[in-house]
Amino acid sequence: MISSFLLFLLLKSAFGLDEKCYVLKKSVSYGEVLDMNNLEAVNEPYCRPVAKEFLSGKQFILSLAAGSFLERRHLRELKVVKTGDRIKGMIKNKTFTISFNLRALKPAALGETIPLIDKNSGRIYKGRVISPKAALIWEGI
């Protein structure tokens, strides 16, 4: 019978998961964007490895001191929309697209649903962020 550890190693090599342990070279603060130059890969048996592909486009959700091990739970998706940003709201159909100018009511990452307000009418919509300047409207029409 194959042990769970050997099975893990087999699956890891089969799917090409390149996970390493990373240590911070300098301290970071809440909301700071992850800089790969601030990380050092180490061989430590007691840390939680992180895939390098996971690290792009992330920011810290807490402050960490230099020398701390980096874990997935320390990071979140980078917020590409800030509160008050101008967003183009789009309603798409197979045959047409309607777009109008809105403002974001809270910060969001790509793929998140946020409330958006039309300053002219005061109406609030919900939309999924598809780029830093656009959202697909799906509620509030």
**CATH number listed for the domain at residues 17-77:** 3.90.1210.10
**Fold that domain 86-139 belongs to in CATH:** SH3 type barrels. (2.30.30)
Determine what percent of the chain is predicted with pLDDT higher than 90: 55
- Nearest alpha-carbon partner for 115 in 101, 107, 134, 130: 107
**C-alpha to C-alpha distances, 90 to 34, 80, 103, 133, 135, nearest whole angstrom:** 31, 18, 13, 11, 6
Contacts of 26 (CB under 8 A, 6+ apart): 38, 66
Residue 103 pLDDT: 96
Lowest mean pLDDT among 6-20, 87-101, 121-135: 6-20
Please report, for the chain, the start and end positions of each structural domain, with discontinuous segments joined by +. 17-77, 86-139
- What kind and span of H or E run contains 21? strand 19-24
Cβ contact 19:50 at 8 Å: yes
Examine the pLDDT at 67 and tell me if it is beyond 60.
yes
Residue 16 pLDDT: 47
